[in-house]
């Protein structure tokens, strides 16, 4: 059996602590270790990462709240334009004006893409 140096802590050497003083010393040492472990856990990097992540999520949500009214206004504007183009398309279709039908069809598809993009941005 290897000899033990009295200056080294027994838990560092892998040996169990032997308390010659009694139960009070045992409690004092045990509580000291528990407090040290709890303090180390409180300062753990995982908790710091979680706090940082929460702050970034709050910041992102605040930015979204500021952008939401702008996006909603753009969506409404694009939907109004789409409705107008569809009404014009119906009128031009009744008159068999193919050039205008072709032009309005392009505008309608562009407006639909824009609305889809705005909804993705709003949701994302």
**Pick from 49, 73, 53: nearest CA to 61:** 53
Task: Give a yes or no: residue 3 inside a domain.
Answer: no
Q: Which of 12-21, 56-65, 102-111 has the lowest mean pLDDT?
A: 12-21
pLDDT in tens, 8-59: 455 555 556 565 677 777 667 666 665 555 555 555 566 666 777 777 777 7
Task: Give a yes or no: residue 52 inside a domain.
Answer: yes
- The C-alpha atoms of residue 48 and residue 56 are separated, in whole angstroms, by 12
Note the helical H segments in the chain.
10-13, 23-42, 45-94, 98-123
In which residue are the tokens 């753009």 written? 74
Tokens standing for residue 84: 């107008």
- pLDDT reading at 82 higher than 90: yes
Task: Give a yes or no: residue 36 inside a domain.
Answer: yes
- pLDDT reading at 85 higher than 80: yes
Question: What dihedral angle (degrees, nearest 10) is formed by the CA atoms of 3, 8, 9, 14?
Answer: -40
Domain count, the chain: 1
Q: By residue range, what is the domain housing residue 27?
A: 22-123
Q: What is the pLDDT of residue 122?
A: 81
């Amino acid at each position: 059996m290897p000899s033990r140096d009295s200056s080294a802590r027994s838990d560092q050497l892998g040996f169990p602590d032997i308390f010659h003083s009694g139960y009070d010393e045992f409690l004092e040492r045990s509580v000291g270790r528990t407090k040290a472990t709890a303090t180390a856990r409180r300062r753990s990097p995982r908790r710091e990462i979680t706090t940082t992540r929460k702050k970034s999520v709050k910041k992102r949500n605040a930015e979204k709240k500021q952008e939401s009214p702008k996006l909603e206004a753009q969506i409404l504007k694009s939907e109004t334009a789409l409705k107008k183009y569809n009404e014009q398309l119906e009128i031009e279709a009744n008159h068999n004006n193919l050039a205008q039908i072709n032009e309005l069809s392009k505008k309608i598809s562009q407006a639909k893409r824009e609305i889809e993009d705005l909804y993705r941005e709003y949701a994302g």
